[in-house]
Each structure stands twice: as structure tokens, then as C-alpha cells.
């Protein structure tokens, strides 16, 4: 065996020892090939990193750096989302672009998803997913080329809500951008456009707790229904579901480790999302916030209502004409990257 091959095997073993997890056999085996759903930018460097959150879950991220970074300490941005996506999808696209602009960026897989740790897979948690952002900030503060006083976060879709929650808690976050933001706690507790009645909500809680009993009795883990495949879409399928399917279930955005592309969430994750509203302290955020949403997005009301809670003259809501929810996942001609760049340059200076 060639020396280069031996070194590669040893590096994988070392990573496995330190991270200690794989969803299949208990050993972490990270993918080091380029397996993103977007093209690689030749002006940006990229490599895998691992770090631990305060719950002891090892998180895996892709660190992006401009090739012309120089010797000065640089501002940095943590990126995550959408809900059910992995870092090889939307967050990686945003992170790579912001790195080309001169930022150190870290796109990570949230706890229990993608390459990140957690024995039970595909679990969502308002507390843990907020903590994931702060754990990423922790990691960035340890890098010698990052200015620890110039760190921001960028959350997409459901992780836009968690990013806002992190900003209300973590004063090290100096600027926050949300893109096509969802409040996962609100939509889970009240349905789209707050359509669930209290009686319907209580009925759902009873059903979910009954499922917990069944899972405990039979040692099972119930999963939510995944998105339909492209050939299962009908004329009666809601347009926003068609948009999700077009991204997650086709070559446009499909990834083998993505919850949304494949198997669905742990069903009982919904219980904590129902009872722990993540935007309760949005009005206490003193740092700068930019919220971006599409004019035609079914989810637009989440950003508008969250923005109404924010206080201070360093907050901005940007509505993109004609854009739907998933346009801000992948359409580089629609995503206002230059606006996001200028925002972070202003508030991470």
C-alpha cells in the first residue's frame, strides 16, 4: 500500500476515534470527496471539521475559507438550514459564496442529522438546535485566523428561527441573517397560518404521547411521512409541496444524507416543538438582524411576524419580488448575496 493511502486510512481512523459515531456501526466515517449539490468554487478552500456541543453531541461541519485570506484575523459566519437539509445542500451554497466574499464560514449538520452525531437519528429539538449554533460559535472562537469579536450567524428556513433564538441568547453573535425563515415551533403547534384549534392541538399531543408509549413498548422509532417522490406529485398537491419535491427529490438538490430528501423526522420530535416557542425573546436581540423572504413564499408571514417583534434601528426586512420559498434555497440569481455581504461587512467590521 502506498504511503499516501496509509495516511488517508490513518486520518479516517483518527477522526473515528475522536468523533465516535456513525449511524450504522458506531464509528464516524466522514466523507472527504466533494459531494455537494452545488458546484465547487475554485476561489474557496474547504475542509471537514468536528466540534462538540454542550450536550456532548459531536457536530460535523464544512469550513470554507477564501484562498486569498492573508494573515489578518477575519470575520466569520455560522450557517445552517433548511430544516431537514444537510450542509451539502443549501447552507453549503450560502457558506461557499460568503467565503468568496472574504468571510470564514462554517456550514454544519445539526445534531442527529447528516454526518453529525447523536445515537437516535433525525431528531429535532428547539433547545439542542439552538445550542448547535452556539457550539459552532464556540469552535470559531478557537481558530487563530478568526476574529472572535466578529462572528455572525445565517439561518435558512427552519434554522432561521433557531438562528434568531441563538441571537437572543448568545451575545457573541454580532449579526444575524435569516433567509426564507420558518418558525418551526409555531407551525408545529398551530399549523400553517395558525389553522389548528386548541382541541385539534390537544388531540395531536395525545396521539404523539401514545406513539411514545408504543415506541417504548416495541423498541421502535416512528417516523413522519417523507415528501412524495416526483412521480407521486398530482395536480392536487399544494404548490409549496411541489416546490419542496422539485428541490429535495430531484438532481437539483437531492442528497443521500438529507432527512427531507429521504426518510422523514422522528415523529415525537414534534412534542417539544409544540411547547417551546423559540421566538419568545426575539424582542431582546440587540445585535443587527436582516430577514430575507420571497414575496410569493407560503411562509412569508413567519418573517413578517418575527420582524415585528424585533427592536432597534439595526433590523431590516427584505422581501424579494416574485420569489417563492425554495427559490432562496438554490437560485443564485434570486438570493440577494450581495445584500447579505454588505450587511455582514457593516456589522462585523
Q: Which grid cell is 245? A: 419535491
| Structure confidence at residue 331 (pLDDT) | 98
Q: Which grid cell is 331? A: 437560485
| Structure confidence at residue 27 (pLDDT) | 58
> Can the peptide bond before residue 56 be classed as cis, meaning omega within 30 degrees of 0?
no
Q: What is the pLDDT of residues 182-239, one digit of tens each?
A: 999 999 999 999 999 999 999 999 999 999 999 999 999 999 999 999 999 999 999 9
Q: Which grid cell is 165? A: 433564538
Q: What is the pLDDT of residues 136-167, one digit of tens each?
A: 999 999 999 999 999 999 999 999 999 999 99
| Structure confidence at residue 71 (pLDDT) | 84
Mean pLDDT (whole number) for 97-105 = 98
Q: Which grid cell is 277? A: 416557542
Query: In a 10 Å sphere around its CB, with 0-12 CB exposed, 13-18 middle and 19+ buried, how is residue 254 labelled?
Result: middle
Q: What is the pLDDT of residues 284-296, one digit of tens each?
A: 999 999 999 999 9
User: How many Å apart are CA 106 and CA 136, to the nearest integer?
Assistant: 8
| Structure confidence at residue 43 (pLDDT) | 96
**Which of 55, 58, 3 lies closest to 29, judged by CA?**
58
306's CB contacts (< 8 A; 6+ apart) are: 161, 164, 178, 181, 183, 279, 282, 291
- H runs (alpha helix) in 88-238: 90-100, 126-141, 158-169, 184-190, 198-218
Contact of 158 with 82, CB cutoff 8 Å: yes
**Which of 247, 212, 257, 221 lies closest to 110, judged by CA?**
257
Write down the mean pLDDT value for the chain: 92
21's CB contacts (< 8 A; 6+ apart) are: 27, 28, 58, 117, 118, 119
| Structure confidence at residue 129 (pLDDT) | 98
Q: What is the pLDDT of residues 321-346, one digit of tens each?
A: 999 999 999 999 999 999 999 999 99
What would the DSSP string read from start to end of 254-318? --TT-TTTTT--BGGGHHHHHH--TTTTGGG--SEEEEEEETT-TTHHHHHHHHHH--STTEEEE
CB atoms within 10 A of CB 66: 19
Mean pLDDT (whole number) for 118-140 = 97
Give the DSSP letter of residue 223: B
pTM score of the predicted model = 0.92
- CA count, 13 A, side-chain hemisphere, 257: 22
Q: What is the pLDDT of residues 1-50, one digit of tens each?
A: 333 333 333 333 233 333 333 443 345 789 889 999 999 999 999 999 99
User: How many Å apart are CA 157 and CA 52, to the nearest integer?
Assistant: 23
Amino acid at each position: 500500500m502506498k504511503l499516501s493511502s496509509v495516511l488517508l486510512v490513518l486520518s479516517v481512523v483518527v477522526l473515528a476515534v475522536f468523533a465516535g459515531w456513525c449511524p450504522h456501526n458506531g464509528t464516524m466515517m466522514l466523507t472527504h470527496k466533494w459531494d455537494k449539490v452545488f458546484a465547487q468554487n475554485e476561489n474557496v478552500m474547504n475542509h471537514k471539521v468536528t466540534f462538540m456541543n454542550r450536550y456532548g453531541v459531536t457536530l460535523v461541519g464544512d469550513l470554507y475559507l477564501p484562498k486569498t485570506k492573508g494573515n489578518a484575523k477575519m470575520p466569520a459566519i455560522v450557517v445552517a438550514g433548511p430544516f431537514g437539509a444537510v450542509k451539502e445542500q443549501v447552507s453549503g451554497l450560502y457558506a461557499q459564496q460568503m467565503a468568496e466574499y472574504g468571510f470564514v464560514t462554517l456550514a454544519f449538520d445539526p445534531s442527529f442529522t447528516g454526518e453529525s452525531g447523536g445515537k437516535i437519528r433525525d431528531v429535532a429539538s428547539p433547545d439542542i438546535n439552538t445550542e448547535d449554533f452556539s457550539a459552532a460559535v464556540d469552535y470559531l472562537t478557537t481558530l487563530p485566523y478568526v476574529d472572535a469579536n466578529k462572528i455572525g450567524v445565517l439561518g435558512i428556513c427552519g434554522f432561521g428561527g433557531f438562528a434568531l433564538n441563538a441571537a437572543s441568547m448568545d451575545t457573541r453573535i454580532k449579526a444575524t441573517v435569516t433567509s426564507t425563515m420558518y418558525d418551526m415551533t409555531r407551525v408545529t403547534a398551530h399549523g400553517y397560518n395558525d389553522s389548528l384549534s386548541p382541541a385539534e392541538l390537544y388531540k395531536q399531543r395525545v396521539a404523539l404521547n401514545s406513539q411514545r408509549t408504543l415506541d417504548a413498548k416495541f423498541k421502535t422509532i416512528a417516523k413522519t411521512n417523507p415528501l412524495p417522490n416526483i412521480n407521486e406529485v398530482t395536480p392536487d398537491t399544494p404548490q409549496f409541496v411541489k416546490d419542496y419535491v422539485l428541490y429535495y427529490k430531484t438532481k437539483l438538490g437531492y442528497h443521500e444524507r438529507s432527512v427531507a430528501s429521504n426518510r422523514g423526522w422522528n415523529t415525537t420530535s414534534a412534542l417539544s416543538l409544540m411547547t417551546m416557542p423559540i421566538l419568545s425573546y426575539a424582542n431582546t436581540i440587540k445585535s443587527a438582524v436582516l430577514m430575507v423572504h420571497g414575496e410569493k413564499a407560503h411562509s412569508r408571514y413567519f418573517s413578517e411576524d418575527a420582524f415585528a417583534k424585533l427592536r432597534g434601528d439595526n433590523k431590516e426586512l427584505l422581501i424579494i419580488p416574485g420569489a417563492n420559498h425554495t427559490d432562496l434555497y438554490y437560485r443564485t440569481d434570486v438570493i440577494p448575496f450581495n445584500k447579505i455581504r454588505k450587511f455582514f461587512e457593516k456589522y462585523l467590521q
